[in-house]
Structure 1
Amino acid sequence: MLLVSFIDKIGTGLWATALPLYFTQVTAMSVAHVGLLIGVSGGIGIAGAPLAGRLADRFPVTRVLVCAQLLRAAALLALLTTHDFALLLLYSAIGALPDRASNVLTKLYAARVAGPQRVRYQAFNRTVSNLGWAVGGLGAAAALAVATTTAYQALLIANALSYAVIAALTLRCAEPPSPSRITADSTTRTTPTAPTRPSSPWRDRTFLLFTATEAALFLDDAILQVGMPLWILHATEAPIGLAPLLLVLNSVLVVLFQVPLARFGATPAAARALLIPLACLFTAGCLAMAASAAGGRWTAVAALTVAAVTLTFAEMIHATASWELSVALAPTDAQGAYLGAHGLAASTQRSAGPLLVTAVITAGPLAWPILGAGFAATCLAQHRLVRRRLPNPPLSVPPITVSEHQ
């Protein structure tokens, strides 16, 4: 499955940068229409995470993932068939649903196949994903240097082919045991006339509040991807060429440190403890962003580099804590449904995060410390929120050996 993630991100890296350019250069769509298309399809895609989780509680996760991957490929290839805005919006929205679903399904697979080692497994997964993004990004840069219709279409087709390849590889992965399906089968055998109603994240107030705080803590992505380049351009004296270098630095740091950092969040209690240093990192990163606008060129470069490093470590620590806590808070009989609901946090951030970050940029340097204080308060609130649930036995699949033929 790690190979699946690597190839998936190569394809996504190829297409992500070219997507808005394809719509403007090939389909002759206006910038406003491109923004509308991406925003609406992204909003619809939010539903993909909980839908995938619910399906994975009822059907084999590998088969649901294969269907999602093939649907992603089909929706992407459909973009080649028309220049009509309504149809392009429809196909983009259809593709956004399995795209968000795939993220949840790969995490769910990790939880089931890795058992107590799930945090370490997910750390390896994030590492190979970042490597895939880097490889795909380099390929996209080479193709976009040509900037012809054929080049854009080639990137689209290459991404679609990557989805077909990973669907074939996923079919060869062994299906891990599903606690939710085993529980359901056992309940049906013992009480066929009165099956127990499975747990639901939508009736779990603590888990919903946890997911809401998660949406805020995922904002590091919007700051690094959207806020950093815009802040450099509009508020500092740093060269705009610093922006891509800081993104490269982000990827390098994740590749080097994500796996070593995973050992600090290997249990629910350890993951909860990480929320305190996470609050400090978010605060320091936001203060560095504010400081970058207060000095000259080299002061800005230094402050922005500090911000990128601290926010990247915040990203890695949050990924470790978030993954362990989301699984630990999920009851055995509804693991997929709970992780699907948790997936709403990242999906919501993708839609609302850029809007919040651009509002901070518009407000000026003083808004960054306020945002940092908000991050710190959110970390402390989550630290308190999960405390009373963690003494209960967390959901943990017993150690198993699953052979993967790839």
Structure 2
Amino acid sequence: MLDRARTAVRDVPGGRDGRRMLLVQFIDKIGTGLWAAAVALYFTYVTHLGVGQIGILVGVSGALGIAGAPLAGRLADRFPVTHVLIGSQLLRAAALLALLTTHDYALLLVLSAIGALPDRASSVLNKLYAARAAGPDRVRYQAVQRTIGNLGWAVGGLGAAAALSFATAAAYQALLIANVLSYVLMAALTARCAEPQAPTRVVRTHDPKSTGAPDTRPPRPWRDRTFLLYTATEAVLFLDDAILQVGMPLWIVHATDAPVGLAPLILVLNSVLVVLFQVPFSRFGTTPAAARRLLAPLAGAYALGCLALSASTTDGRWTATAAVLLAAVALTFAEIIHATVSWELSVHLAPAEAQGAYLGVHGLAPSVQRSAGPLIVTTVIAVGAPAWPVLAAVLAATCLAQNALVRRHETATTTPLSVPPVTVSEH
């Protein structure tokens, strides 16, 4: 698995700066993996918050952090993306480090919300960097980036497990500081990366017969109905994250005869499959048409995974275990396929001259899913086995709706995908 990752990194598009940015992503996920495992324990044992207070803090900061994605996209259209990335990384470090200075609940809430903004912005900025640095190879670059990120999560999780074995306030504080240092190191490495070339700005000159001024305003995603509908479908398709991270462990424990120890192994299996198959699968979605065609097998993978979870309530330890494993594999491949589709189509549907703003709005989809997804999945679990086929139908129908939406866009425009943008004049 490590050999596969090393090969992918060696051949990554974008040259030395591309490889350096992959190292940034690796460090980011190590630091996040360290802190994610300790955050609830830190607020419990260091700042002495109750369960309800922690829930409100995480929920409110997460909701406010949703604004980070569109804000980062807008900034990246006006300033160098590497500069916005550095600012985001340093703000994450400062907000996290400030948690050490207070036990006041109101301040902790404010600091957590401030830290959530650049945290949600980071994925949009990394995607924008990839789109500009790798060009037509952006899907493969982001596949390698995701593979490296999963390895970083694994390393961070192992480090957190070792530190948390001490179960002391000092251990929780050490994990926080380690994450802060990771952000500082990321900023230093990003500062050494050259700024990738931004897409050519499209300027539409007015008709000589008209008296109007040239239209130099970039398109606005909030007025683009097609893109907004596409983003809405994306919010639904990102549910694979909530199903795998939240739904499956709860389902195993409360609804099946499968062993409880299977729950953490499902997450390990997910990471291994992503590392092994994300990069190879990326070659199937390197053009908009190819990415759109992947929506059909994506619908099938979602349906198989959800139906297998419904079937896992069957009596018998081995039968339940087999059904849960089948669901985990199917939903992991759904995650892999959707990542490939999303990377290509989101950039394809974003006009070059407003790429940052559009990708920032698209970044709302995973952010909204992180907030609403656990609630949706736990509702499905509360209803029981009959709810999984309903969710399967919803996910499959969403894939078909997205397919139709993108097809209509392709029919309505003559601009080919993955072709460098040019200046357009109206005569």
Scaled by the length of structure 1, what TM-score is found? 0.94
Rounded to whole Å, the distance in 2 between the matches of 1:356 and 1:241 is 24
Corresponding pairs, count: 394
Counterpart of 1:403 in structure 2 is none
Counterpart of 1:372 in structure 2 is 392
The answer (yes or no) to whether the contact 2:287–2:418 under 8 Å persists in 1 is no
Match of 1:257 among 270, 277, 284: 277
Task: Please give the secondary structure, in 2, of the residue aligned with 1:40.
Answer: helix
Rounded to whole Å, the distance in 2 between the matches of 1:16 and 1:394 is 41
Identity, % of aligned pairs? 74
Rounded to whole Å, the distance in 2 between the matches of 1:390 and 1:266 is 16
Counterpart of 1:308 in structure 2 is 328
The answer (yes or no) to whether the contact 1:283–1:375 under 8 Å persists in 2 is yes
Letter in 2 for 1:176: P
Counterpart of 1:30 in structure 2 is 50
Could you say if the C-alpha distance between residues 57 and 396 of structure 1 is closer, same or farther in structure 2, counting changes exceeding 3 Å? farther
The answer (yes or no) to whether the contact 2:381–2:387 under 8 Å persists in 1 is yes
Q: Shift in Å at residue 298 of structure 1? A: 1.2
Counterpart of 2:125 in structure 1 is 105
Match of 1:324 among 323, 341, 344: 344
Q: Shift in Å at residue 233 of structure 1? A: 1.0
The answer (yes or no) to whether the contact 1:331–1:395 under 8 Å persists in 2 is no
Rounded to whole Å, the distance in 1 between the matches of 2:404 and 2:232 is 14
Rounded to whole Å, the distance in 2 between the matches of 1:89 and 1:97 is 13
Rounded to whole Å, the distance in 2 between the matches of 1:253 and 1:233 is 23
The answer (yes or no) to whether the contact 1:330–1:394 under 8 Å persists in 2 is no
Q: Shift in Å at residue 118 of structure 1? A: 0.5
Q: Shift in Å at residue 390 of structure 1? A: 2.6
Q: Shift in Å at residue 147 of structure 1? A: 1.1
Q: Shift in Å at residue 295 of structure 1? A: 2.2
Letter in 1 for 2:270: N
Counterpart of 1:156 in structure 2 is 176
Letter in 1 for 2:357: A
Rounded to whole Å, the distance in 1 between the matches of 2:299 and 2:24 is 33
Letter in 1 for 2:289: A
Q: Shift in Å at residue 326 of structure 1? A: 0.3
Counterpart of 2:305 in structure 1 is 285
Counterpart of 1:190 in structure 2 is none
Rounded to whole Å, the distance in 2 between the matches of 1:230 and 1:249 is 17
Rounded to whole Å, the distance in 1 between the matches of 2:400 and 2:358 is 22
Task: Please give the secondary structure, in 2, of the residue aligned with 1:257.
Answer: helix
1:4 aligns with 2:24: yes
Return structure 1 stretches of 4+ with deviation > 3 angstroms: 394-399
Rounded to whole Å, the distance in 2 between the matches of 1:166 and 1:18 is 21
Scaled by the length of structure 2, what TM-score is found? 0.90
Letter in 2 for 1:281: A
Rounded to whole Å, the distance in 1 between the matches of 2:296 and 2:78 is 37
What RMSD in Å do the two structures reach over aligned CA positions? 1.7
Match of 1:45 among 65, 68, 74: 65
Rounded to whole Å, the distance in 2 between the matches of 1:55 and 1:284 is 41
Deviations 1:294-338 (A, max 9, x none): 221111111110010000000000000011000000111100000
Letter in 1 for 2:166: V
Rounded to whole Å, the distance in 2 between the matches of 1:23 and 1:228 is 26
Gaps spanning 5+ residues in structure 1: where? 188-192, 400-406
Letter in 1 for 2:175: L
Counterpart of 2:195 in structure 1 is 175
Letter in 2 for 1:227: G
Could you say if the C-alpha distance between residues 395 and 44 of structure 1 is closer, same or farther in structure 2, counting changes exceeding 3 Å? farther
Task: Please give the secondary structure, in 1, of the residue aligned with 2:218.
Answer: coil
Deviations 1:197-243 (A, max 9, x none): 21011000010000000000000000000001111111111121111
Deviations 1:96-153 (A, max 9, x none): 0000111100000000010100000010000000000000000011111111100000
Task: Please give the secondary structure, in 2, of the residue aligned with 1:387.
Answer: helix
Letter in 2 for 1:143: A
Counterpart of 1:196 in structure 2 is 216
Rounded to whole Å, the distance in 1 between the matches of 2:337 and 2:417 is 21
Counterpart of 1:393 in structure 2 is 415
Task: Please give the secondary structure, in 2, of the residue aligned with 1:393.
Answer: coil
Letter in 2 for 1:211: T
Gaps spanning 5+ residues in structure 2: where? 1-20, 206-212, 422-427
Letter in 1 for 2:227: F
Q: Shift in Å at residue 395 of structure 1? A: 5.7
Letter in 1 for 2:415: P
